[in-house]
Structure 1
Amino acid sequence: MDPILKTLTETMTVEAIAIIKAKRLAMKQSVNMNAMQLGAEGREKRRMSDNMQKELGKRAMERERPCRVFEEQLLGEREMTTAQKYLKLFNDSKMRSLDHTWPELSSTAIEETIDMPELPPQPEIMTEPPRRKTRYNRYGQEKFLTDQKEFGINPQGSNLEKAAPFLESQQDKQLKRNESVSKEIIERPKHDSKGRRRSKLYSRMPIIVVPPTKTSMVSLHNIKKLLQDLRYTAMSGMTRENALKEVIVEHRFKNEIVSYRVIDNVAHLTPVEWDRVIAVFTSGPRWQFKGWPKGANRAAIFHKVCAFHLHFRNTPMSNELRKMQVHSLALSPHERHSDSGILMEFWNKVDQHMAVHARQFAFIWQK
């Protein structure tokens, strides 16, 4: 057998093993005794600290001053409990038994020695029912100001009684004035107010002129669909029974809706209205500009306003218009879906012209 793997009984004697066990037991007992001693010392320290805290609490309670709240001060001292009442009686009897200085006197002797003063008769106390508490009203103090005036102001308003006739006369005058004004408004013709509103509205509208001929591709009958809906409609499919004098077309310019006045007769335009002309549709003939300023000079007119010529692609512009400052709007004869892109060029040119001549067209922003 390998000597390294021998058991303890084979390598040591029984006495040596017993000595080792005794030493181990003694060490274990000493460790336990030390732990118990440390635990007892810790408990003693905690007990002493608790006693100290208890003593400090007692001293603080002895020196503490009882606090009386506001309600107790108003109502007086607190009512004693039954035990407190018995203790008070016991203390009083004990004090009387200890005090022997007072001689025993009979009731007659007390009456002779002490002269009792005569008390006046007490009046009868009238018991009134408790008043009901009313809600606070800041105007309730005015009952104490009946004869007072602050800074020359009468808070009761009694001085208004003297001024009542004067106020009534002023009211009568105001009523008569209102009646006269209302009569004038009623008697005023309605067409005057409508005409005034219309003239004020028209004064903020730029003007677009279209050809008066029936053979032109653009007229008052299809101008609204052409410029507002951006879609061309042939004149052959439209009724011309109702004679139109003018048409209002709306377009957004600088995030604002601007109304444009479209006409085909310039004979009644005033000089102020001529300055508001912004665009013209020309069909080609010279007589279309008869009655225009600048001596009917088309080159001078096209230099001041935006000129447009609406035609189909298979019918080109005349050489005379091509040499002038005229913008071509060539539509497809059959493809109506392409009208919006071509007609949008009209508004691009008009918006550019208004932006360049902002001072001339500043009237559209007037309210």
Structure 2
Amino acid sequence: MESLAQTMSVEAIAAIKAKRLAMKRHDKDAAANAKRLQREKQRQVDEHQVNVCKRAMERERQHRPFEDKLLGEKELPGVLRTLALVYDVHTRRLLSKNYAGPAEASDPEELPEVPVVPPQRNPPANDFSSRYNRYDQEKFLKGKEAFGINPLGTNLTKKKFAKELGKVSSKIGKETSKAIAKGTDKEIAKGTSQEATANVPSSSHRHSTGEKARRRSTNDHRPIIVVPAALTSLITLHNVKQLLQEMRFVSVDQVRKLGFQSAEEVVLERHVQGQLVRYRVIDNVKRLKAEEWQRVAAVFALGPQWQFKGWPHSGDPAPIFHEVCAFHLHFKDTAPSKELSNLPVHMLALPQHERHLDCGILKEFWKKLDHHIAVRAKQFAFMKQK
């Protein structure tokens, strides 16, 4: 195997080396030119972006409140500075004219200088003390009632009624004393009979009162929710408002310690599709009339069957739960009642201590109840009546 010096001449080897160096130099120059072009292109892009931002900032409209527009607080300092500079220039010209020689002072071409009065910023015309004040109306209502409202008028009718009642009682007392003084038993009996007839309502009045009560019961548009009366239940009339309206669990013992007295019924208010809907909550179904059973929408089952004593279907929970939406409230740590395991009851499992989870669980109650009412739209059509 022969070496390169034996096969090629020295001139050919030098030419090859020169060619390789020229190619390397050309590659370096090409790379440098590419970088330079890239930097130039990037600079042009940056300059274009800067010009665009400048034009946008020049065309941007600065936000000014309405009061600033009226008072001109943003432009006024600049105007004052400009006028102050002008005033200084004129002042210097006047001073230079006074100290100048007689030739310059008698120059006919110069016009007489008019002294410029520096502008003074006047206070804004809008005096905030002259704004409307609701208490200033008392200055214009001397001896008059504001808007025709008499603040002392709430007790006038009571005082008038008390005076009339005192007059009537004093008159009856005088007549009775006169009758006793004369010794006439007939007048005494007559006076007492008149008082009795006046105090006892007439049959027509009793009839009208009963008619109003009957109409009120028939025109009641509130669905009924039945809760257990036992204090061992997690929900009773004591805490039903906190549970179903405020969406937070408060135990019955805590509510009773606060001095809450149980009533015959509780009214819950809830907004459904933009309308205020009221629900009547009771714990004793013996007060329900025959026509009110159709308005029973939900019941909270405690477990034992004696809870449904006095209900339709002889107190059998199975057919009752097919007509009424049934719920069972219990803690997650405790198992639900075994007597409700094979019945269509919605279980609501509340946490023992995590009160922030109550709202999501109690929303399921209203979701199930709304579905139950929507499915039986004909039965609960009274809710849409006014």
TM-score of the aligned structures, taking structure 2 as reference length? 0.44
Structure number with larger C-alpha Rg: 1
TM-score of the aligned structures, taking structure 1 as reference length? 0.46
**Between Structure 1 and Structure 2, which shows a larger proportion of helix residues?**
2
